Structure 1
Amino acid sequence: MTRVLIVDDDPVQLRLTSEVANRAGFAAVTATGGRQALDLLRADPGIGAMVLDLVMPDLDGMAVMETMRREGIATPVIVQTGHSSLETVVSAMRQGASDYFVKPVAPERMIVSLRNALKLSELEMLVRTDRNRMNGTLGLADIVTRAQGMDRVLSLCAKAAKSPIPVMIEGESGVGKELVARVIQGSGDRAGKPFVVVNCGAIPAKQIESTLFGHRKGAFAGATSDQPGKFLEANGGTIFLDEVGELPAEMQAKLLRVIQEGEIEPIGADRPVRINVRIISATNRRLLNLTKAGQFREDLYYRLNVFPIYVPPLRDRIEDVPVLVEHFIARLAAEAGKRVIGISEPALAMLKAYNWPGNIRQLENAVYRAVVLSDGAYLETADFPQIVALGSGREEAAKLAGATPSAPVHIDDASLPLREIAGKAVAPDRFVAEGGEVAALADVERELIGFALRHYGFRMSRVARALGIGRSTLYRKLREYGLDEGLESDAA
């Protein structure tokens, strides 16, 4: 559940705004002054947005936003105040406020503003991460995590980035070893330099040497031109040797020489070529166990394992599931063109209870599939049939999907003939009341509006357009028919 910070020195307004946020599905965190708000923001970087009062006795809203900008706190800010002026609005927007309104504000207006601010924040983070990835400048802030088990990983990454020391990243498949390697490179003095990824387990044995070290034209049959090789491509930057434990014994010896001498010898070359490459390697198996079994050179192991980093699996840092799900929903919903803004509490609880053998990669794929399947604003348990099937069985998954598993229907057990169906009772007309009289117009209108609300997922603008009435008329009729309880407006 996304945490929202409400800041106001008026206790009544603070309670009302917090109640609106809580009813909308957010977890409201409150502060009665600007200094307390800044302390909360510094202590909890996971706060999604802040509703900030401008006029406060200790530190006003403008000063809070100025301090946030100076300290690099990027939490979206929604400003509210009891006094409105054009100059105040302009000043607040210049300080970085994402929205501005005057008290008292309608609950639906507040909720729409909060959702828009959270969505904008997620999209800004995604754009920033993609830009950093392309530029080779990923930093620690680009690792999406809140788990204490990742604190050591982040600390080691920061230390490893300060020197060209060889790094060995161990962890199960899908935990994000390549991201850790990119962060180490992007946080050090080689940021922006080449970052070359080599999957040692995916290269055919006969092509490994040529792929890593390159070759000269005519060195072997099919060598029609010079090829630099991955090490030369990474010269001045970093080479990431993924699944390094899959290297054959002969290539292990040559890699050891490259590390010792700092030079490579392309196939068919007359002399070695000096290189300046930082080596970061990764494996999904314990390299020490491979060394003890004689499948990996011991001397190469000690050369590569100078600075080991172990990335824990997702099941050991389950508190990362909510933030990762939010991150994936923001990106994947935008890619798929779906209006998915979050996940329901039962669905999130199910994801947190699952073991995730495929780790973060499996979670991302599950969320992607759910986003494509979903027809609502929030992902529900039924949108994760594979996870339900793995956790509770196929019958439960089919039940949630609205179907029951059954055997093929034999021809002798086919459906009733048309004449038997015709003899059955016909459903009553919806325009006829229980006594047989035509239903009152108000009753029909109330039923139609209720049906439209459910059909369009309570999106008020869409309901009003479908019914051919204005939104103000729609809200008036909702109040008349007692249908307005718990309803929220959208921004459409």
Structure 2
Amino acid sequence: MMTRVLIVDDDPVQLRLTSEVARRAGFTPVTADGGDEALRLLRGSPGFGAVILDLVMPDRDGMAVMEAMARDSITAPVIIQTAHSSLETVVSAMRQGAVDFFVKPVAPERLIVSLRNALKLDALETVVRSERNRRAGTLGLDDIVTRSPALHRVLTLSQKAAKSQIPVLIEGETGTGKELIARVIQGMSDRATKPFVTVNCSAIPANLIESTLFGHKKGAFTGAVADHVGKFAEAHGGTLFLDEIGELPPEAQAKLLRALQEGEIEPVGAARPERVNVRVISATNRRLLGLAQTGEFREDLYYRLNVFPIYLPPLRERAEDIEPLAAHFIARFAAEAGKRIAGLSAPALELLRGYNWPGNIRQLENAVYRAIVLSDGGYLELADFPQIVAQERGRDETLKLTEQLPAPSAPVHIDAVRSRRESEAKDSIPDRFLDARGEVAPLPDLERELIAFALKHYGGRMSKVARALKIGRSTLYRKLRDYGLEDGVESDAA
């Protein structure tokens, strides 16, 4: 599923032209012939990657549309198009939140650059907003990166669960994001901003489970030199997330059942129980009903926890999410590493889409992180995912990719090692002016190769490419069009 772009213009010819430019660039255009229809689409069908908005329209102008978007917390980046402009108009649009501004007619390649920049900006803003909301305990539906109908159903259930205090059980494989869904439920409930306490039941020694959950009093057992507040008490007023609940020992299950039924906990060594106000969300990567049927898990506790069940499907069953999740992780990790990485190459995206991801989203996140750390290019390529290539296509294909990378044929002393970029440059000098037949290559071919190299070298940053080649931006755009290099343009940042 390609990224959707909303195009708003009351001129049908301009609407058709802009839609065709977006379609050829790999986007899915959705059109609106006025501001009112645009707002209806934005409110009723969230998930637009960007909005190309005409300023002057009869029913509701572009400024009014942006004002309404701000009121409704619709965060899609807006690119303004208008037939007439003034400095005052430009300043007003930018203050209202527009990320770019064009006077019609705009060159198609310039519009494509702007769209791609807007999408990268939106991805990074999403990362920042989600992290801020996670820390504040106010995660919501807009913070979940998804295009999958299956996950939209999960989010609908989560929204309903947030309106009540009943226990929720989230079932799903390891790495599918169960804790994230629990945080979303809390963030949409009246317990938002209150404590969200996580307990991994499989990571706590069996003899410390009760003390960890319910606390203990000084002298309750050897080593209890002071009172200890348990996780239930820590979560008072908020939410307690019990991960891997199926690993809870039987004796702790009985105490948990009482805490859920009575709203009371009994710290180890305490003389009387204590009241707690806690909303419990539990999660498991095992079929809890199966454990209850075999006697490994208390059946009465199972039914108490399973009041509102939510099943989180694995990543292989929502392949639509692989591309947006990868883009989300690239934006986050590239920013953290200080690298300008535009995205995935087409072969790399095809590889990730075809893989079955046994480790789910956590595995995808780790794979992208590793690729970002090791990559020196403007895109993540197949060679940046050797472990996925090895599992998906076999060891021989991985060796082929490795062989394509420059490597010394014999041991080289550390003082004599050349950098990869230096090595590539020196090795290519003797024959770069010759074609496949050994003849001197035509000048246009060399110019095209030089421009393509400059685009890759500067990560598609047009201002730097133009300055390095000592040509004007308009000349560079014309040459890109003449040589069919428009698809290599990813960023127009200076």
**Structure 2: 5+ residue runs without aligned partners?**
411-428
Task: Tell me if the contact between 2:6 and 2:50 (Cα under 8 Å) persists in the aligned partners.
Answer: yes
Q: Deviations over 1:227-262 (max 9, x none)?
A: 111111111111111111111111112222222332
Q: Secondary structure at the match of 2:75?
A: coil
Q: After TM superposition, give the deviation of residue 78 of structure 1 in Å.
A: 0.9
Is the CA contact (8 Å cut-off) linking 1:210 and 1:229 kept in structure 2?
yes
253 and 464 in structure 1: CA distance in 2 versus 1, 3 angstrom threshold? same
- Structure 1 residues 246-395: aligned runs within 5 Å: 246-395=247-396
Change in CA separation of 1:233 and 1:100 when aligned onto 2, cut-off 3 Å: same
Q: Distance in 1 between matches of 2:116 and 2:437?
A: 47
CA-atom RMSD in angstroms: 3.3
Name the larger-Rg structure.
1
My pick for the range that moved more, 110-119 or 245-254, is: 110-119
Residues 82-107 of structure 1 show CA distances to partners (whole Å, capped at 9, x for unaligned) of 11123322332343322222223344
Aligned to 2:423: none
Match of 2:81 in 1: 80
1:242 aligned partner: 243
2:192 is paired with a residue whose SS is coil
State the AA in 2 paired with 1:386: Q
Tell me, yes or no, if the aligned pair for 1:475 and 1:484 is still in contact at 8 Å.
no
The Cα shift of 1:66 comes to 3.1
Distance in 2 (alpha carbons) for counterparts of 1:348 and 1:38: 32
**Which string of whole-angstrom CA distances, capped at 9 and with x for unpartnered residues, describes residues 296-352 of structure 1?**
111211221121111111112222222212222221221122212222333323322
Q: Alpha-carbon deviation of 1:191?
A: 1.1
For 2:100, the equivalent position in structure 1 comes to 99
Contact 2:117 2:492 (8 Å CA) reproduced: no
Residue type matched to 1:491 in 2?
A: A
Check whether the contact 1:144–1:323 (CA below 8 A) recurs between aligned residues. yes
Deviations for 1:250-303, whole angstroms, at most 9, x for unmatched residues? 111222222233222222222222211111111110111111111111121122
SS in 2 for 1:38: helix
C-alpha distance in 2 between matches for 1:276 and 1:99: 49
| Structure-2 separation of matches of 1:312 and 1:437 | 58
- How many residues are treated as equivalent by the alignment? 470
Query: In the alignment, is the contact (CA less than 8 A) between 2:341 and 2:459 conserved in 1?
Result: no
Q: Distance in 1 between matches of 2:35 and 2:271?
A: 70
Residue deviations 1:412-467 (CA, integer Å, cap 9, x gap): xxxxxxxxxxxxxxx97767999999999999878766654555555444445555
Deviates more, 1:110-119 or 1:188-197: 110-119
- For 1:239 and 1:129, the matched residues in 2 are separated by 21
State the SS of the aligned residue for 2:203: coil
| Further displaced range: 433-442 or 17-26 | 433-442
TM-score by length of 2: 0.85
Distance 1:226 1:157, change over 3 A: same
- The DSSP-based 3-state class of the residue aligned with 1:51 is strand
Residue 127 (structure 2) pairs with residue 129 (structure 1): no
Q: Which amino acid aligns with 2:493?
A: A
**Letter of the 1:274 counterpart:** R
Q: Does 1:204 align with 2:200?
A: no
* Change in 2 beyond 3 A, CA 1:358/1:152: same
Moved more, 312-321 or 23-32: 23-32
TM-score, normalising length: structure 1: 0.85
Distance 1:434 1:3, change over 3 A: closer
Alignment-derived partner of residue 418 in structure 2: none
Amino acid at match of 1:119: K
Match of 1:415 in 2: none
Give the counterpart letter for 1:98 in structure 2.
V
Match of 2:8 in 1: 7
Distance 1:435 1:299, change over 3 A: closer
Q: Distance in 1 between matches of 2:252 and 2:449?
A: 74
CA distance in 2, matches of 1:83, 1:259: 65
Aligned counterparts of 2:146 and 2:435: Cα–Cα separation in 1: 58
Pairwise CA distance, 1:366: 1.6
Q: Who is 2:425 aligned against?
A: none
CA contact (8 A) 1:2 1:47 kept: yes
Counterpart of 1:152?
153
3-state SS of paired residue (2:225): coil
Moved more, 393-402 or 129-138: 393-402
C-alpha change, 1:33 and 1:474, in structure 2 (3 Å) is closer
Distance, in Å, in 1 between the alignment partners of 2:452 and 2:91 is: 42
Shift of 1:173: 0.7
Aligned partner of 1:112: which letter?
V
Alpha-carbon shift at residue 11 of structure 1 (Å): 4.2
Rounded Cα–Cα distance in structure 2 between residues aligned with 1:175 and 1:218: 41
Residue type at the aligned position of 1:190: R
456-465 vs 65-74, which deviates more? 456-465
Matches within 5 A, 1:9-28: 9-28=10-29
Provide closer, same or farther for how the CA distance between residues 438 and 350 of structure 1 changes in structure 2, counting only shifts above 3 A: closer
**CA distance in structure 2 between the partners assigned to 1:324 and 1:57 by the alignment:** 39
State how far apart, in whole Å, the 2-side matches of 1:289 and 1:439 are.
70
Mapped partners of 1:347, 1:326: distance in 2: 12
Distance 1:155 1:307 in 2: 13
Moved more, 4-13 or 201-210: 4-13
Partners of 1:95 and 1:431 lie apart in 2 by 51
SS in structure 2 of the partner of residue 98 of structure 1: strand
Q: Which residue pairs with 1:219 in the alignment?
A: 220
Query: How much has 1:196 moved relative to structure 2?
Result: 0.6
Q: For the Cα contact (< 8 Å) 2:462–2:473, is it kept in 1?
A: no
In structure 1, the residue matched to 2:30 is 29
Indicate how the Cα distance of structure 1 residues 400 and 23 shifts in structure 2: closer, same or farther if over 3 A, else same.
farther
DSSP 3-state at the match of 2:169 = strand
- SS of the residue corresponding to residue 99 of structure 1 reads strand
Counterpart of 1:363, as a letter, is L
- The equivalent position to 1:490 in structure 2, one of 474, 489, 492, is 492
Q: Identity across aligned pairs (percent)?
A: 70
Matched letter for residue 398 of structure 1: L
CA distance in 1, matches of 2:439, 2:174: 68
